[in-house]
Structure 1
């Protein structure tokens, strides 16, 4: 199945977020991370992603009579090719944006529901800026954002690091 079709679901996007950075988690750990979704839902979506090769089983062990699997994300399998992105229809973009926003809202709600949440300390940001740009200025802005973000995408979990969700969105406003 096409990675775009697989990822056009908020729970599957959240599973991908949880496993980013080379993390390996069990389905039970994913259920704890995505506590607002039922266990059956998380298990079902993990199975869909594993069957499609987006998740890889790294370890299996017997636990209380059932097999517990550890999963790792296969980023190359979850990537959307430039050709696929260019071929996306307006309806594809609508669906992708809706799934992204649903996942973003769910992740933010889960953050706020955590008793340790402190938006001021955590420097939470969700500002919106309406800017006027020429085509060249827009290209420069995107290049600058990529230059700032891309070096951090390869960061793996480590002492002192916590996972953050960064969701840059850019589109033209119409009169």
Structure 2
């Protein structure tokens, strides 16, 4: 199975996203966050991601006749690899982007279902344009990566709320 087929499945993509923010989770914790996914389906997709090396078991605990496993995300395995991206057709890129956008729309719908007054908690969406040379764009990406990296190092605390960042950077078509 290609990385795209593995990662862009709607349920598997949601499972992967539950781990963002350097989280280690049990299947029960994942099920609590994805409570609209049937349990047998959730177990099947977790097993698929584990066999593929996207998730790894980081702890096991014996309890009541079964073993409870705690999983963590292998971040480098949870992305499309450059050679696979290079070999994708335009249609493949369109399908991948549609899966990305569908995931974003689903996340936003679930957010609205739990927070009918969006925005007061910092949720935001907007579009803007930057006029940049290729060198300035490279510097911008370096600066953005540095800013994000410093925040990605934050560990969970009772005062921190996990926030998922989406970003899309598209060059405007040349005339």
With the length of structure 1 as denominator, give the TM-score of the two structures: 0.81
Instruction: Return 5+ residue gaps in structure 2 as ranges.
Output: none
Change (3 A) 1:151 1:86: farther
Say yes or no: does 1:59 pair with 2:51.
no
Instruction: Render the CA deviation track for 1:122-148: whole Å, top value 9, x for unaligned.
Output: 111110124444434433433332232
The residue aligned with 1:110 is 110
Q: Is the partner of 2:21 in helix, strand or coil? A: helix
What is the total number of aligned residue pairs between the two structures? 173
User: Aligned equivalents of 2:54 and 2:150: distance in 1?
Assistant: 23
Contact kept, 8 Å, 1:8 with 1:96, in 2: the verdict is yes
The structure whose RCO (Cα within 8 Å, separation 6+) is larger is 1
Aligned Cα RMSD in Å? 2.5
Change (3 A) 1:22 1:137: closer
Instruction: Render the CA deviation track for 1:55-109: whole Å, top value 9, x for unaligned.
Output: 122214334x554332221223224433433443323322221121122122222
Change (3 A) 1:156 1:5: farther
Change (3 A) 1:130 1:76: closer
The residue aligned with 1:153 is 152
